[in-house]
Amino acid sequence: MNTDMLSFRRTVFRQMRGKVFVHSFPITLEKGDQLKEEAFHENRNVFILAYQGGANVDDKIKRICNSYAEDDSVIEINSNYYGTELKETMEKK
Protein backbone atom coordinates (compact mmCIF):
# COMPACT_ATOMS: atom_id res chain seq x y z
CA MET A 1 0.00 0.00 0.00
CA ASN A 2 1.54 3.30 -1.03
CA THR A 3 1.69 6.45 1.09
CA ASP A 4 -1.18 8.20 -0.71
CA MET A 5 -3.52 5.33 0.06
CA LEU A 6 -2.49 5.27 3.70
CA SER A 7 -2.75 9.03 4.04
CA PHE A 8 -6.24 9.09 2.48
CA ARG A 9 -7.50 6.26 4.68
CA ARG A 10 -6.04 7.90 7.79
CA THR A 11 -7.59 11.27 6.92
CA VAL A 12 -11.03 9.78 6.34
CA PHE A 13 -10.83 7.79 9.57
CA ARG A 14 -9.80 10.80 11.64
CA GLN A 15 -12.18 13.32 10.10
CA MET A 16 -15.16 10.98 10.21
CA ARG A 17 -14.27 9.53 13.62
CA GLY A 18 -14.22 5.95 12.36
CA LYS A 19 -17.78 6.01 10.99
CA VAL A 20 -16.74 5.35 7.39
CA PHE A 21 -15.59 2.03 5.97
CA VAL A 22 -12.78 2.56 3.46
CA HIS A 23 -11.70 -0.16 1.05
CA SER A 24 -8.92 0.57 -1.42
CA PHE A 25 -7.07 -1.34 -4.09
CA PRO A 26 -4.77 -0.54 -7.02
CA ILE A 27 -6.11 -0.69 -10.57
CA THR A 28 -4.75 -3.61 -12.54
CA LEU A 29 -5.53 -4.07 -16.23
CA GLU A 30 -4.57 -6.88 -18.55
CA LYS A 31 -2.81 -5.93 -21.79
CA GLY A 32 -5.97 -6.71 -23.78
CA ASP A 33 -8.07 -4.35 -21.68
CA GLN A 34 -5.80 -1.34 -22.14
CA LEU A 35 -6.69 1.37 -24.63
CA LYS A 36 -3.89 1.99 -27.14
CA GLU A 37 -1.45 0.40 -24.72
CA GLU A 38 -1.45 3.55 -22.60
CA ALA A 39 -0.46 3.23 -18.98
CA PHE A 40 -3.07 5.62 -17.57
CA HIS A 41 -3.98 3.08 -14.90
CA GLU A 42 -0.50 2.78 -13.45
CA ASN A 43 -0.13 4.22 -9.97
CA ARG A 44 -3.91 4.68 -9.73
CA ASN A 45 -6.09 3.39 -6.92
CA VAL A 46 -9.77 2.82 -6.35
CA PHE A 47 -11.33 3.82 -3.04
CA ILE A 48 -14.75 2.62 -1.94
CA LEU A 49 -16.31 4.45 0.99
CA ALA A 50 -19.37 3.09 2.76
CA TYR A 51 -21.18 5.18 5.34
CA GLN A 52 -24.58 6.15 6.62
CA GLY A 53 -25.49 9.29 4.71
CA GLY A 54 -26.51 12.71 5.80
CA ALA A 55 -26.02 16.20 4.39
CA ASN A 56 -23.09 17.08 6.64
CA VAL A 57 -21.42 13.69 6.21
CA ASP A 58 -21.77 13.80 2.41
CA ASP A 59 -20.27 17.29 2.20
CA LYS A 60 -17.37 16.43 4.47
CA ILE A 61 -16.50 13.26 2.54
CA LYS A 62 -16.73 15.09 -0.81
CA ARG A 63 -14.29 17.72 0.45
CA ILE A 64 -11.84 15.05 1.62
CA CYS A 65 -12.09 13.12 -1.67
CA ASN A 66 -11.70 16.24 -3.81
CA SER A 67 -8.61 17.28 -1.87
CA TYR A 68 -6.92 13.97 -2.75
CA ALA A 69 -8.20 13.66 -6.34
CA GLU A 70 -5.76 14.66 -9.07
CA ASP A 71 -8.55 15.50 -11.48
CA ASP A 72 -12.32 15.04 -11.74
CA SER A 73 -11.99 11.37 -10.92
CA VAL A 74 -14.38 11.28 -7.95
CA ILE A 75 -17.48 9.26 -8.83
CA GLU A 76 -20.38 9.17 -6.43
CA ILE A 77 -22.77 6.24 -6.29
CA ASN A 78 -25.72 6.65 -3.98
CA SER A 79 -27.04 3.38 -2.58
CA ASN A 80 -30.56 4.81 -2.33
CA TYR A 81 -30.64 5.11 -6.10
CA TYR A 82 -29.51 1.54 -6.66
CA GLY A 83 -31.25 0.11 -3.62
CA THR A 84 -34.36 -1.16 -5.37
CA GLU A 85 -32.40 -2.64 -8.26
CA LEU A 86 -30.04 -4.40 -5.85
CA LYS A 87 -32.94 -5.68 -3.76
CA GLU A 88 -34.67 -7.12 -6.85
CA THR A 89 -31.46 -8.82 -7.97
CA MET A 90 -30.93 -10.38 -4.55
CA GLU A 91 -34.53 -11.64 -4.48
CA LYS A 92 -34.04 -13.39 -7.85
CA LYS A 93 -31.22 -15.51 -6.42
Q: Where are the domains of the chain?
A: 3-92
- pLDDT, tens digit, 9 for 90 and up, residues 6-64: 888 899 999 988 888 888 888 777 776 666 666 665 667 778 888 887 778 888 888 88
pLDDT computed for residue 33 by the predictor: 66
**So what's the pLDDT on residue 87?**
72
**46 within 8 A of 27, measured Cβ to Cβ:** yes
First-to-last alpha carbon distance for the chain, in angstroms, is: 35
Higher-confidence position of 19 and 78: 19
CB within 8 A of 11, min separation 6: which ones?
A: 64, 68
pTM score of the predicted model: 0.62
